[in-house]
Amino acid sequence: MRKFFLLSLYLCSVNLLCAQMKIERVEPLSWWAGMHTPLQLMFYGKGLQDAEVRCLEKGLMVLKVHQAESKNYLFVDILVEDYARPGTYTFEFTQGKKKIKHSYIINARSEGSAQRKGFGPADMIYLIMPDRFANGNPENDNHKDAAEKANRDKPYGRHGGDIQGMINHLDYLQELGVTAIWPTPLLFDNEPRASYHGYACADYYRIDPRYGTNELYKQMVEMARERGIKFIMDMVPNHCGMAHWWMKDLPFASWIHQFPEFTRSNYQMASHFDPNASKYDNDLCVKGWFDTSMPDMNLTNLYVLNYFTQMAVWWIEFAGLDGLRVDTYPYSDKHAMATWTKNILDEYPHLNIVGEAWYPSPSMIAYWEGAAKNTDGYTCHLPSVMDFPLQENIAAGFAKDSMPSWGEGLMKIYSCLTQDFVYVQPNNLMIFIDNHDINRMAWLLKGKKDKQKMVMALLATMRGVPQLTYGSEVMLYNKNKQGHGEERLDMPGGWPDDERSVFTAAGRTKTENEVFEYTKKLFNWRKNTKVIHEGKLMQFVPVDNNFYVYFRYTDKELVMMAINNCREEKTIDWPRFSEITTGYAQGVDIITGNAVQIDSPLSLPPQQALVVHFKK
């Protein structure tokens, strides 16, 4: 009896010791042979501290094991040998006599993966807020792992839009002329309220289960590619969400920026380049939290920087992405962000990454261009930046159609573009009039369809990479209260019980169809018009501040864009434009298909745009 008791006690002790070491997570979830990016695995589980780690198969070598401050993490540097073959590898963890094993998958890369080409001036980007676009699978509206449940009655609640809804309408987007899709974050946001926007991530390696699965996301990207549509992932290295799983057990105290009490960012992004800025102000911009539910990541911690580099590379490789849009780019340490950006481009030299840098001045935007020669020597390596100054001036420029004061009306757009000299590559800027953070285009234009069409013509012909927000093609906007939740409207027809569907001509009103067809014609023409993708820009000072003509041109092609934002008819003054039109005789009005003869009388009705394509 005594021997049996001692044996039982021994077995219980062994089980207890073994239970003290357990792997619950490993990130990245998998990797690929032949990658340039170094691999550092983050293992999380019970009592991993001080464990020795080795790989049991040839092809992967453990270079170094790093201890965290938490006893439940290990960071392990892995060498993936040149001869490593795709397959399952086994890591063995040893603490004294305790041993556990964990399997890890190394995949084969897709052919040409490293040389993938990103989006650019030849594309039209369509911004979608997935929760508000279309509900293709009502069964995933709620999920056992998700704190917030669906309720379409709440402007700031979950409405049920998902990946399947986006898949269901890929043909609609193809018809419209979309060549790239930018959805706001699809990763798991598990905040108890307002989780629909996705910018407070709870798991960087998991698609929100209310949207679908990782595999369904990958399938959507593949289906879009079959239709000639690229995919851009919205990434947020600046902050996570309070509901992120690591917030209960941080690897290091310095994993996030912490203060004795809640401290918000001062949002003073100019402190990055202001030669007179105090370190105090810049630190507060970079280290303060974006919001109460968004802990600020410390990218100067090299483990954090490695984590976010690998996360970005993993999603690009796993899903076959064509680019990234980076949220709140200047709210992180600028040198860490430059390293993060360069790391990704070292793996994918031709990928495009566009950064959100919300400034009112072109000179401030230009600081974040990757090729900029800044006086302080800084470069962030970004291939593209969002052109907020042009957005503000387009919105303000079209607001008035009576005789505006000097410098007002379309003169605002002209004046903004005169500052293009500060940019290295203005053709790579993302241009737009609205997005998910700004009042909708139709609201800014007071619901006037003619103005909506003029702006569409401008976005289709202006230098840069145009971006439309979902529903702009049918003038979607909230006519009452304006706010993020209210303006991030559901797309009519995206839900099974909607009374009508704007995804079909039959479901659209006459006005909606008119704007849709106009937008569709513009952007389908734009797809194959190289002079718009590659041409230079020449603009002429707006007549009466509100009749504006500019040209896109190469040696062999010319596009004339004329915008009459006045209340009276305007006549094209051909001799005024002879320096750019010489050598051309006849062009085509791309909306009507009618011939346009240079030097022949031509008038433009009020509140109309004219796009003419000339070829030699």
Give the torsion sign (CA, 553, 559, 561, 562): positive
At the fourth CATH level, the homologous superfamily of domain 21-109 is Immunoglobulins (2.60.40.10)
8 A C-beta contact, residue 323 and residue 180: yes
**Angle at CA of residue 182, ends 324 and 425, nearest 5°:** 55
Cis peptide bond prior to 28, omega within 30° of 0: yes
pLDDT at 19: 54
Give the torsion sign (CA, 431, 437, 438, 439): positive
Q: What are the start-end ranges of the E strands in 387-442? A: 430-431
pLDDT at 243: 98
8 A C-beta contact, residue 485 and residue 476: no
Length of the chain: 616
> In a 3-state reduction of DSSP, which class is residue 105?
strand
H/E element holding 415?
helix 411-417
| Alpha carbon distances (Å) from 259 to 202, 268, 286, 291 | 21, 19, 13, 14
pLDDT at 229: 98
Please check whether the domain covering 533-615 is classified as CATH 1.10.510.10: no
Give me the active site residues, please: 327, 356
At residue 591, what are phi and psi to the nearest 5 degrees? -85, -50
pLDDT at 406: 85
- DSSP notation for 177-201: T--EEEESP-EE---SSSGGG--S-
pLDDT at 278: 98
> What is the DSSP code (8-state) at residue 568?
S
Strands 352-355 and 98-107: unpaired
8 A C-beta contact, residue 197 and residue 295: no
**Identity of the residue numbered 614:** F
Q: What is the pLDDT of residues 138-167, one digit of tens each?
A: 999 999 999 999 999 999 999 999 999 999
Those residues whose C-beta lies under 8 Å from the C-beta of residue 256, and which sit 6 or more positions away, are 240, 250, 295, 296, 297, 298
Q: In what order do the strands lie in the sheet with 547-553?
A: 536-543, 547-553, 557-564, 608-615, 586-589, 595-597
- DSSP notation for 316-368: HHHHT--EEEETTGGGS-HHHHHHHHHHHHHH-TT-EEEE----SSHHHHHTT
- We find that the CATH architecture of domain 114-528 is Alpha-Beta Barrel (3.20)
pLDDT at 7: 37
Report the alpha-carbon distance of residue 477 to residue 446 in Å, rounded: 10
8 A C-beta contact, residue 262 and residue 289: yes
Q: Which ranges of the chain have pLDDT less than 70?
A: 1-19
21-109 and 533-615, same CATH topology: yes
**Angle at CA of residue 603, ends 599 and 604, nearest 5°:** 130
Report the alpha-carbon distance of residue 397 to residue 414 in Å, rounded: 9
At residue 508, what are phi and psi to the nearest 5 degrees? -95, 150
8 A C-beta contact, residue 382 and residue 369: yes
Q: In what order do the strands lie in the sheet with 73-80?
A: 22-27, 39-46, 73-80, 60-67
> Checking phi first, is residue 545 left (phi over 0); if not, alpha (psi -120 to 50) or beta?
left
Looking at 134-239, list the stretches that DSSP marks H as alpha helix, in order from N- to C-terminal side.
163-168, 170-176, 214-226
Could you tell me the residue ranges of all domains in the chain? Answer: 21-109, 114-528, 533-615
8 A C-beta contact, residue 187 and residue 206: yes
Report the alpha-carbon distance of residue 526 to residue 557 in Å, rounded: 13
